[in-house]
Chain A
Amino acid sequence: MFNSFHRYGALSFIALIAILLPLEVFAHGVDESTRNFLQNNTGVQIIPFLYIGAKHMVTGYDHLLFLVGVLFFLYKSRDVLLYVSMFTLGHSVTLLFGVVSDIQVNAYLIDAIIGLSVVYKGFDNLGGFKNTIGFTPNPKAAVLIFGLFHGFGLATKLQEFQLPTDGLIANLIAFNVGVELGQFSALAFILLLINFWRKHASFNRFATNTNCLLMSAGFMLIGFQLTGYFTS
């Protein structure tokens, strides 16, 4: 008993670390060769934009943390699909709208809000809203609203490059589809892990700790981005 307690504890910890690990490696930006491509490309380039979108999502630990929070207590496929669609709808709207109408939002502030979304979901999973204000704000609406902010985050990343207007819309849609593909593959992985874990007693035992750590990771993102905002 004690042994399995330890084993699953270690397992959950490793899973969390694995999610947090790419922090330094990918640094949530766009690497040099991608940057080069983005600034020099001309015309419609469906596949490359698909790839960049997918890569951004798969390596975007802040988006993934939020999804972990959203999916943590969802086990019906219909619910998963519903919530993920809300998130997709939210971020697609602002991604397309943000780039097309050239809305400039400070990347640090947007990323801080994305960090806040992680804190929100962690707190929500802990039953925090029920305890403090007596009810849980509509979780689907929350996912949709935070999805809008995540989309602005994606839009600001793309706008850092003066994208050529030639073929912009098609490329943007390709990027967006790529984001969804990346999200889909990341989701499959997250769901696999969570559903596997859910079958074990340790899931309930560590649910509180995991969401507490999730919240903490969100606070770290906020602190990290706000420091960037104030020092840049």
Chain B
Amino acid sequence: MQETNTQTTTTQQITLTNSKLIKYTLFSLVFAAITLVTVILPAEYNIDPTGAGKALGLTVFNIVTATATSDTSTKNTKDATETIEVLVPAGRGVEYKFIMEQYQKLTYEWITDGPALYFDLHGEPKGDTTGYFESYTITTSDEVKGSFTAPFSGSHGWYWKNTSDATVKVQLIVHGEYIEHGLK
């Protein structure tokens, strides 16, 4: 063993036998592999070969992240047209909301990539805890154009329900005034 120079003799180190070193190294590798496969990969990438991630409930992050393909989910844009893609997984409902002040107006247009979806365009007042909401439109369609003016400050937007067995992509084009928007 050689010390590299005289001024750093302070680095004390652990002295292990070779077999112990191998044991510790292998352990760290195996521990990392297990954590990766059962926790990190399912949560981060929805890669879940063992099914452990699903059992632990860790794949939920991806239901959310996979549905928000738009990376402009919280931008303060005024008078610009924005196109947002929302993925509605099979057998699930997804809510996409815009935070708007009272009397702000939003013009919208959306189309699915296939089947018609049941939807509820509604608003919830800011700070409300009772669960109250007001629906503006409830129907089933694969394409809707329109506009609405927020009757109160709060979050306004769509609830889409996908009863089919395949993911449906909704392309939403909006133009108007709002503070921010995103999946809820």
Contact = CB atoms under 8 A, between A and B. Distances in A.
Interface string A3-47: 000000000000000000000100000001100100000000000
Q: Chain A CB within 10 Å — which of B15, B21, B24 has the most?
A: B24
A128 B11 contact: no
B1 A220 contact: no
Contacts of B43: 24
A126 B41 contact: no
Q: Chain A CB within 10 Å — which of B31, B32, B40, B74 has the most?
A: B32
B10 A208 contact: no
Interface in B14-32: 14-16, 18, 21, 24-25, 27-29, 31-32
A162 interface: no
Contacts of A138: 4
A76 B10 CA distance: 7
Contacts of A132: 18, 21
Contacts, number: 107
Contacts of A219: 28-29, 32-33, 36
Contact of A212 (B7, B18, B27, B76): B27
A223 B32 contact: yes
Interface residues of B, number: 34
A76 B24 CA distance: 28
A208 to B, nearest CB: 5
Interface in A183-216: 207-208, 211-213, 215-216
Contacts of B8: 79, 82, 139-140
Interface residues of A, number: 43
A205 to B, nearest CB: 11
Contact of B1 (A32, A134, A215, A223): A134
Contacts of B31: 213, 216
B4 A139 contact: yes
B47 interface: yes
Nearest to A31: B74
B53 to A, nearest CB: 13
A131 B8 CA distance: 20
B18 A131 contact: yes
B73 interface: yes
B14 A131 contact: no
Contacts of B25: 123, 126, 128, 212, 215
Interface stretch (A95-103, A148-156, A224-232): A224-232
Interface in A120-134: 122-128, 130-132, 134
B16 A127 contact: yes
B10 A227 contact: no
Q: Chain A CB within 10 Å — which of B1, B11, B27 has the most?
A: B11
14 contacts: A32-B73, A32-B74, A32-B75, A123-B25, A126-B13, A130-B13, A132-B21, A136-B4, A136-B13, A216-B28, A219-B36, A220-B40, A223-B41, A224-B40
Given A130-B13, A132-B18, A227-B47, 8 more contacts: A126-B25, A130-B1, A139-B4, A140-B4, A208-B24, A215-B24, A217-B32, A223-B32
